[in-house]
Amino acid sequence: MRIGLVDLDTSHPEAFLPLIRAAGHEVVGVHDSGDVHPHGYARGFADRHGIAQVFTSLPQMAAEVDAAFLHGCDWDRRVERAAPFAEAGVALFVDKPFGGRAADLRQMCTWAEAGVRIAGGSSLRWCAEAAAWHERHPADPAEFALVGCSGDPFDYGVHAYSLLHGLLGPGVSAARHLGGHVQHRVELAWHDGRTGMVSLGPTAARHPFHATVLTETDVEHLICEPGRLYESLLTAALPFLAGQAPAPLPLTALMEPELAALAARASQREGGRWVALDDPAVDGVSYDGAAFAARYRDARYPGAAGRSGAAR
Protein backbone atom coordinates (compact mmCIF):
# COMPACT_ATOMS: atom_id res chain seq x y z
CA MET A 1 0.00 0.00 0.00
CA ARG A 2 0.88 3.66 -0.43
CA ILE A 3 0.20 5.09 3.04
CA GLY A 4 -0.22 8.65 4.25
CA LEU A 5 0.25 9.73 7.87
CA VAL A 6 -2.27 12.29 9.10
CA ASP A 7 -1.33 14.34 12.19
CA LEU A 8 1.98 13.55 13.82
CA ASP A 9 0.88 14.46 17.33
CA THR A 10 2.06 11.43 19.31
CA SER A 11 4.97 8.98 19.29
CA HIS A 12 2.91 6.51 17.25
CA PRO A 13 3.69 7.76 13.71
CA GLU A 14 7.42 7.38 14.27
CA ALA A 15 7.06 4.07 16.11
CA PHE A 16 4.75 2.58 13.47
CA LEU A 17 6.92 3.62 10.51
CA PRO A 18 9.54 0.82 10.58
CA LEU A 19 6.83 -1.78 11.21
CA ILE A 20 4.80 -0.54 8.24
CA ARG A 21 7.88 -0.68 6.03
CA ALA A 22 8.89 -4.12 7.30
CA ALA A 23 5.43 -5.37 6.29
CA GLY A 24 6.12 -4.28 2.69
CA HIS A 25 4.19 -1.00 2.56
CA GLU A 26 5.41 2.49 1.65
CA VAL A 27 4.71 5.71 3.52
CA VAL A 28 4.51 8.25 0.71
CA GLY A 29 3.55 11.40 2.57
CA VAL A 30 2.52 13.19 5.74
CA HIS A 31 0.10 15.92 6.71
CA ASP A 32 -0.01 17.68 10.07
CA SER A 33 -2.84 19.95 11.19
CA GLY A 34 -0.83 21.84 13.81
CA ASP A 35 -2.89 20.80 16.83
CA VAL A 36 0.27 19.87 18.75
CA HIS A 37 3.40 20.60 16.74
CA PRO A 38 4.67 23.98 15.42
CA HIS A 39 4.99 25.00 11.82
CA GLY A 40 7.70 23.06 10.02
CA TYR A 41 7.47 19.91 12.14
CA ALA A 42 5.96 17.82 9.34
CA ARG A 43 8.74 18.82 6.92
CA GLY A 44 11.37 17.88 9.48
CA PHE A 45 9.63 14.57 10.21
CA ALA A 46 9.48 13.73 6.51
CA ASP A 47 13.14 14.61 5.99
CA ARG A 48 14.30 12.56 8.99
CA HIS A 49 12.42 9.49 7.82
CA GLY A 50 12.92 9.65 4.08
CA ILE A 51 9.28 10.42 3.24
CA ALA A 52 8.86 12.14 -0.10
CA GLN A 53 5.92 14.47 0.34
CA VAL A 54 4.33 16.84 2.81
CA PHE A 55 0.74 17.24 1.69
CA THR A 56 -0.94 20.60 2.09
CA SER A 57 -4.48 19.23 2.18
CA LEU A 58 -6.22 15.99 3.06
CA PRO A 59 -8.13 15.73 -0.26
CA GLN A 60 -4.78 16.02 -2.02
CA MET A 61 -3.40 13.16 0.05
CA ALA A 62 -6.57 11.09 -0.46
CA ALA A 63 -6.00 11.20 -4.22
CA GLU A 64 -2.53 9.66 -3.87
CA VAL A 65 -2.72 6.99 -1.15
CA ASP A 66 -4.30 3.60 -0.62
CA ALA A 67 -4.59 4.02 3.15
CA ALA A 68 -4.36 6.84 5.67
CA PHE A 69 -3.28 6.55 9.30
CA LEU A 70 -5.02 9.10 11.52
CA HIS A 71 -2.87 9.81 14.59
CA GLY A 72 -4.29 13.08 15.93
CA CYS A 73 -4.77 13.76 19.65
CA ASP A 74 -8.02 15.65 19.05
CA TRP A 75 -10.40 12.76 18.51
CA ASP A 76 -13.25 15.27 18.04
CA ARG A 77 -11.80 15.93 14.57
CA ARG A 78 -11.65 12.26 13.54
CA VAL A 79 -14.72 12.27 11.30
CA GLU A 80 -13.84 15.60 9.70
CA ARG A 81 -10.32 14.42 8.86
CA ALA A 82 -11.37 10.91 7.87
CA ALA A 83 -14.10 12.12 5.51
CA PRO A 84 -11.93 12.93 2.43
CA PHE A 85 -10.46 9.42 2.58
CA ALA A 86 -13.74 7.63 3.24
CA GLU A 87 -15.40 9.51 0.39
CA ALA A 88 -12.56 8.45 -1.91
CA GLY A 89 -12.76 4.81 -0.78
CA VAL A 90 -9.32 4.97 0.85
CA ALA A 91 -8.70 2.57 3.74
CA LEU A 92 -8.37 4.11 7.20
CA PHE A 93 -6.38 3.24 10.27
CA VAL A 94 -7.82 5.31 13.14
CA ASP A 95 -5.55 5.49 16.17
CA LYS A 96 -7.04 5.09 19.61
CA PRO A 97 -9.50 6.21 20.67
CA PHE A 98 -11.72 5.93 17.60
CA GLY A 99 -13.76 8.86 18.88
CA GLY A 100 -15.21 10.46 21.97
CA ARG A 101 -18.82 10.77 20.76
CA ALA A 102 -21.25 8.01 19.84
CA ALA A 103 -22.30 9.89 16.69
CA ASP A 104 -18.70 9.86 15.42
CA LEU A 105 -18.42 6.12 16.02
CA ARG A 106 -21.68 5.55 14.14
CA GLN A 107 -20.43 7.58 11.19
CA MET A 108 -17.34 5.40 10.88
CA CYS A 109 -19.50 2.29 11.03
CA THR A 110 -21.67 3.73 8.25
CA TRP A 111 -18.56 4.17 6.10
CA ALA A 112 -17.47 0.61 6.90
CA GLU A 113 -20.89 -0.74 5.93
CA ALA A 114 -20.49 1.08 2.60
CA GLY A 115 -17.24 -0.78 1.97
CA VAL A 116 -14.49 1.44 3.40
CA ARG A 117 -11.89 -0.69 5.19
CA ILE A 118 -11.42 0.80 8.69
CA ALA A 119 -9.22 -0.60 11.44
CA GLY A 120 -7.34 0.73 14.44
CA GLY A 121 -8.09 1.42 18.06
CA SER A 122 -6.00 0.34 21.00
CA SER A 123 -3.00 -1.93 20.57
CA LEU A 124 -3.98 -3.68 23.81
CA ARG A 125 -6.89 -5.33 21.99
CA TRP A 126 -4.36 -7.50 20.12
CA CYS A 127 -1.54 -7.75 22.67
CA ALA A 128 0.62 -10.88 22.67
CA GLU A 129 -0.13 -11.59 26.31
CA ALA A 130 -3.89 -11.86 25.70
CA ALA A 131 -3.31 -14.00 22.60
CA ALA A 132 -1.02 -16.31 24.56
CA TRP A 133 -3.57 -16.52 27.38
CA HIS A 134 -6.19 -17.73 24.89
CA GLU A 135 -3.75 -20.32 23.54
CA ARG A 136 -3.26 -21.65 27.07
CA HIS A 137 -7.03 -21.83 27.68
CA PRO A 138 -8.59 -23.15 24.47
CA ALA A 139 -11.52 -24.79 26.30
CA ASP A 140 -11.53 -22.72 29.52
CA PRO A 141 -12.78 -19.23 28.62
CA ALA A 142 -12.52 -16.19 30.85
CA GLU A 143 -15.44 -15.83 33.23
CA PHE A 144 -14.20 -12.56 34.74
CA ALA A 145 -11.21 -10.24 34.47
CA LEU A 146 -10.00 -7.15 36.29
CA VAL A 147 -7.92 -4.94 34.01
CA GLY A 148 -6.17 -1.68 34.75
CA CYS A 149 -3.70 1.00 33.73
CA SER A 150 -2.70 4.53 34.70
CA GLY A 151 -3.12 7.82 32.87
CA ASP A 152 -5.91 9.81 31.27
CA PRO A 153 -9.19 7.95 31.87
CA PHE A 154 -10.09 7.94 28.17
CA ASP A 155 -6.95 8.33 26.07
CA TYR A 156 -5.20 5.72 28.24
CA GLY A 157 -8.29 4.21 29.81
CA VAL A 158 -9.44 2.89 26.45
CA HIS A 159 -6.42 0.58 26.60
CA ALA A 160 -7.88 -1.07 29.72
CA TYR A 161 -11.30 -1.43 28.12
CA SER A 162 -9.63 -2.90 25.04
CA LEU A 163 -7.50 -5.39 26.94
CA LEU A 164 -10.61 -6.56 28.78
CA HIS A 165 -12.35 -6.85 25.39
CA GLY A 166 -9.45 -8.91 24.08
CA LEU A 167 -9.69 -11.32 27.00
CA LEU A 168 -13.49 -11.75 27.21
CA GLY A 169 -14.24 -11.12 23.53
CA PRO A 170 -16.90 -9.06 21.73
CA GLY A 171 -20.43 -8.79 23.03
CA VAL A 172 -20.33 -5.99 25.60
CA SER A 173 -23.88 -4.97 26.44
CA ALA A 174 -23.66 -2.35 29.21
CA ALA A 175 -21.44 -0.55 31.70
CA ARG A 176 -21.81 1.01 35.11
CA HIS A 177 -19.58 3.34 37.08
CA LEU A 178 -18.66 1.97 40.50
CA GLY A 179 -16.83 4.94 41.97
CA GLY A 180 -13.41 4.48 43.47
CA HIS A 181 -10.69 6.15 45.49
CA VAL A 182 -7.47 7.01 43.63
CA GLN A 183 -8.73 5.38 40.44
CA HIS A 184 -12.27 4.88 39.15
CA ARG A 185 -13.71 1.42 38.63
CA VAL A 186 -16.15 0.48 35.92
CA GLU A 187 -18.02 -2.81 35.54
CA LEU A 188 -18.89 -4.12 32.07
CA ALA A 189 -21.54 -6.70 31.25
CA TRP A 190 -21.60 -9.06 28.27
CA HIS A 191 -24.71 -10.34 26.50
CA ASP A 192 -23.96 -13.87 27.73
CA GLY A 193 -24.02 -12.80 31.39
CA ARG A 194 -20.29 -12.51 32.08
CA THR A 195 -18.84 -9.37 33.64
CA GLY A 196 -15.45 -7.71 33.92
CA MET A 197 -14.00 -4.59 35.51
CA VAL A 198 -11.54 -1.86 34.59
CA SER A 199 -9.58 0.41 36.92
CA LEU A 200 -8.71 3.77 35.34
CA GLY A 201 -7.12 7.13 35.97
CA PRO A 202 -3.86 8.78 37.01
CA THR A 203 -1.75 7.31 39.79
CA ALA A 204 1.30 8.65 41.63
CA ALA A 205 3.48 5.99 39.96
CA ARG A 206 2.65 4.70 36.52
CA HIS A 207 1.01 1.26 36.60
CA PRO A 208 1.72 -1.19 33.79
CA PHE A 209 -1.11 -2.56 31.67
CA HIS A 210 -2.25 -5.49 33.78
CA ALA A 211 -5.03 -8.05 34.09
CA THR A 212 -6.15 -10.74 36.50
CA VAL A 213 -8.18 -13.34 34.61
CA LEU A 214 -10.47 -15.95 36.15
CA THR A 215 -11.84 -19.07 34.51
CA GLU A 216 -13.75 -21.95 36.07
CA THR A 217 -10.45 -23.71 36.79
CA ASP A 218 -7.71 -21.08 36.86
CA VAL A 219 -6.62 -17.62 38.04
CA GLU A 220 -3.79 -15.90 36.16
CA HIS A 221 -2.15 -12.47 36.32
CA LEU A 222 -0.84 -10.78 33.15
CA ILE A 223 1.44 -7.78 32.67
CA CYS A 224 1.71 -6.53 29.10
CA GLU A 225 5.11 -5.76 27.57
CA PRO A 226 4.89 -2.31 25.90
CA GLY A 227 7.63 -3.04 23.39
CA ARG A 228 5.55 -5.61 21.49
CA LEU A 229 2.22 -3.82 21.38
CA TYR A 230 2.46 -1.96 18.08
CA GLU A 231 3.68 -4.99 16.16
CA SER A 232 0.68 -7.01 17.37
CA LEU A 233 -1.72 -4.23 16.40
CA LEU A 234 -0.32 -3.76 12.91
CA THR A 235 -0.10 -7.50 12.31
CA ALA A 236 -3.86 -7.60 12.90
CA ALA A 237 -4.70 -4.46 10.90
CA LEU A 238 -2.40 -4.19 7.88
CA PRO A 239 -3.49 -7.30 5.91
CA PHE A 240 -7.12 -6.20 6.20
CA LEU A 241 -6.37 -2.60 5.20
CA ALA A 242 -4.46 -3.90 2.18
CA GLY A 243 -7.41 -6.07 1.11
CA GLN A 244 -5.41 -9.25 1.68
CA ALA A 245 -7.43 -10.64 4.63
CA PRO A 246 -10.86 -10.29 6.20
CA ALA A 247 -11.41 -7.85 9.05
CA PRO A 248 -9.98 -9.19 12.31
CA LEU A 249 -13.22 -7.99 13.90
CA PRO A 250 -16.25 -6.16 12.53
CA LEU A 251 -15.85 -2.44 13.20
CA THR A 252 -18.96 -2.42 15.39
CA ALA A 253 -17.28 -4.97 17.67
CA LEU A 254 -13.90 -3.24 17.54
CA MET A 255 -15.51 -0.02 18.81
CA GLU A 256 -17.15 -1.61 21.85
CA PRO A 257 -14.38 -0.35 24.20
CA GLU A 258 -15.06 3.27 23.24
CA LEU A 259 -18.82 2.77 23.53
CA ALA A 260 -18.36 1.11 26.93
CA ALA A 261 -16.32 4.11 28.10
CA LEU A 262 -19.12 6.43 26.97
CA ALA A 263 -21.73 4.26 28.71
CA ALA A 264 -19.61 4.40 31.87
CA ARG A 265 -19.51 8.21 31.64
CA ALA A 266 -23.29 8.30 31.31
CA SER A 267 -23.58 5.93 34.26
CA GLN A 268 -21.37 8.18 36.39
CA ARG A 269 -23.58 11.14 35.51
CA GLU A 270 -26.72 9.16 36.40
CA GLY A 271 -25.72 7.76 39.76
CA GLY A 272 -24.05 4.52 38.75
CA ARG A 273 -26.95 2.77 36.98
CA TRP A 274 -26.30 0.18 34.29
CA VAL A 275 -26.24 1.94 30.90
CA ALA A 276 -26.58 -0.15 27.76
CA LEU A 277 -24.24 0.66 24.89
CA ASP A 278 -27.27 1.61 22.78
CA ASP A 279 -28.97 3.62 25.56
CA PRO A 280 -29.91 7.16 24.40
CA ALA A 281 -27.96 8.46 27.43
CA VAL A 282 -24.75 7.51 25.63
CA ASP A 283 -25.48 10.21 23.04
CA GLY A 284 -25.64 12.79 25.82
CA VAL A 285 -22.02 12.40 26.96
CA SER A 286 -18.61 12.77 25.36
CA TYR A 287 -14.90 12.96 26.07
CA ASP A 288 -13.37 16.31 25.09
CA GLY A 289 -10.76 15.72 22.39
CA ALA A 290 -9.87 19.39 21.91
CA ALA A 291 -9.12 19.80 25.61
CA PHE A 292 -6.97 16.67 25.63
CA ALA A 293 -5.03 17.85 22.57
CA ALA A 294 -4.42 21.22 24.25
CA ARG A 295 -3.08 19.53 27.39
CA TYR A 296 -0.91 17.26 25.28
CA ARG A 297 0.48 20.20 23.31
CA ASP A 298 1.18 22.25 26.42
CA ALA A 299 3.02 19.35 28.03
CA ARG A 300 5.11 18.91 24.87
CA TYR A 301 5.66 22.63 24.26
CA PRO A 302 5.31 24.59 27.53
CA GLY A 303 4.19 28.14 26.86
CA ALA A 304 2.63 27.31 23.49
CA ALA A 305 -0.97 27.77 24.66
CA GLY A 306 -3.02 29.71 22.18
CA ARG A 307 -0.92 28.80 19.16
CA SER A 308 -3.34 28.39 16.28
CA GLY A 309 -3.43 25.13 14.38
CA ALA A 310 -3.08 25.06 10.61
CA ALA A 311 -2.06 22.56 7.96
CA ARG A 312 1.68 22.02 8.21
> Which residues are CB-contacts of 246 (< 8 A; sequence separation ≥ 6)?
240
Q: What is the pLDDT along the chain (312 residues), one digit of tens a residue?
A: 999 999 999 999 999 999 999 999 999 999 999 999 999 999 999 999 999 999 999 999 999 999 999 999 999 999 999 999 999 999 999 999 999 999 999 999 999 999 999 999 999 999 999 999 999 999 999 999 999 999 999 999 999 999 999 999 999 999 999 999 999 999 999 999 999 999 999 999 999 999 999 999 999 999 999 999 999 999 999 999 999 999 999 999 999 999 999 999 999 999 999 999 999 999 999 999 999 999 999 999 997 654 544 444
How far apart are the C-alpha atoms of 96 and 176, rounded to whole Å? Answer: 22
HSE value, Cβ hemisphere, 13 Å, CA-based, for 144: 9
pLDDT in tens, 258-298: 999 999 999 999 999 999 999 999 999 999 999 999 999 99
Terminal-residue alpha carbon distance, the chain = 24
β-strands 172-180, 275-276 pairing: antiparallel
Q: Is the peptide bond before 38 cis (omega within 30 degrees of 0)?
A: no
Distances (CA, A) of 258 to 217, 219, 275, 279: 31, 27, 14, 14
> Which residues are CB-contacts of 124 (< 8 A; sequence separation ≥ 6)?
130, 159, 160, 162, 163, 166, 209, 224, 229
